[in-house]
Amino acid sequence: MTTFDTSDVSSSAHSCDTLIRNVFLVDGSGNDPVVADVAIAGGRIAAIGALGDWQAQQVMDGTGKVLSPGFIDVHTHDDTNVIRMPDMFPKLSQGVTTVVVGNCGISASPVTLKGDPPDPMNLLGQSTAFSYPTFASYVAAIGAARPSVNVAALVGHTALRSNHMDRLDRAASDAEIVGMREQLTEALEHGALGLSTGLAYGNAINAPTGEVLALAEPLAEYGAMYATHLRSEFADILVAMDEAFRIGKHARVPVVISHLKCAGVENWGRSSEVLAALEQAEKHQHVGCDCYPYTASSSTLDLKQVTDTYPIQVTWSEPHPEQGGKLLSEIADAGRRGVPLHGRRRRQSHPEPSGHRDRFRWTAE
């Protein structure tokens, strides 16, 4: 039996608040799972093992069930959800107890908007959701909301660009990079996990590698990391991976490639090549990746990715909410038959590729 120090727990040697019996225990250590009893007292694990002589106010039969530490969802866009919906039931119901936010270059802080949030920051909410001009203010808001999950936050490159640039379809100037670095440093000082980029998106794709290299330089001092939605997940994925590795090496920090995949039908089958590149880089620096547990992905409207080689489902559309849940091919067929799109008239897109508020789910079948 494995026991733990319970000197600060108000329970006798053989009593506890909750006793889970005969559960299949995965303890997170890497050891093989075992069937055991688990005693909980004062919100802490009091004992693990054969606890036949223990008594509890609540006894649960774990037969046929698995008990494990909470899962860490390392790639989320829950930045504002943890404040607006602090119960976080969609995550807790799946066993997730920690979320990493601020991925893909978009974060809720530090942000000062000049108007509507630029794409894809609009995935986090409308302009009213962005009320954290400093990372410290975001930390304070999380503390006040007391979400049911732990929160680790990255700072988004696109968010920083939006704070300091009048247009996002160009490279940042030296002065703008200085301003971004100052905000990133403030965030790191208040516990930010690192920097993320979403270089494939229209509002970041014109940022040259040099811009990210300069911005990433403060990371190492704070033991931080660099996470990236690659500049390309299509034919140029290996070039994009090399760029990510170069940034990490320059900044002397670990690199995490977000949702690593071979996107596009013509790119399918290259996984072994991509993984080999990741393993080769791992010989020289700290690199890793996360990936989807399903054969689909989702993003905001990008006409460059529209294709008829696999189904594309519109999950929601701000100008045409009635189209939510339909396949893009169905909407196109209706358009060809002259069926009008009902609802509000479609907005004109902005001069930069950031004006559409439609979200698509790309499925591979």
- Phi/psi at 19 (5° precision): -125, 120
Averaged pLDDT, 27-40: 94
Express each pLDDT in 203-239 by its tens digit: 999 999 999 999 999 999 999 999 999 999 999 999 9
Q: What is the predicted pLDDT for the residue at 294?
A: 83
CA distance 71 to 74: 9
Q: Which of 196, 172, 339 is nearest to 258 (CA)?
A: 196
Least confident of 106-115, 144-153, 179-188, 310-319: 310-319
pLDDT greater than 60 at residue 351? no
Q: What is the predicted pLDDT for the residue at 10?
A: 40
Q: Which helix (H) or strand (E) holds 176?
A: helix 174-189
Residue that is written with structure tokens 């089958």 in the block: 269
3-state secondary structure of 103: helix
Domains and CATH numbers, the chain: 2-67 (2.30.40.10), 71-293 (3.20.20.140), 300-363 (no CATH)
Contact 45, 39 (CB under 8 A): yes
Express each pLDDT in 167-185 by its tens digit: 999 999 999 999 999 999 9
Torsion angle of alpha carbons 209, 210, 215, 220, nearest 10°? Answer: 90
CA distance 70 to 89: 14
Contact 248, 226 (CB under 8 A): yes
Long-range contacts of 318-323 (CB under 8 A, 24+ apart): 318/357, 318/358, 319/343, 319/344, 319/345, 319/346, 319/347, 319/357, 319/358, 320/344, 320/346, 320/358
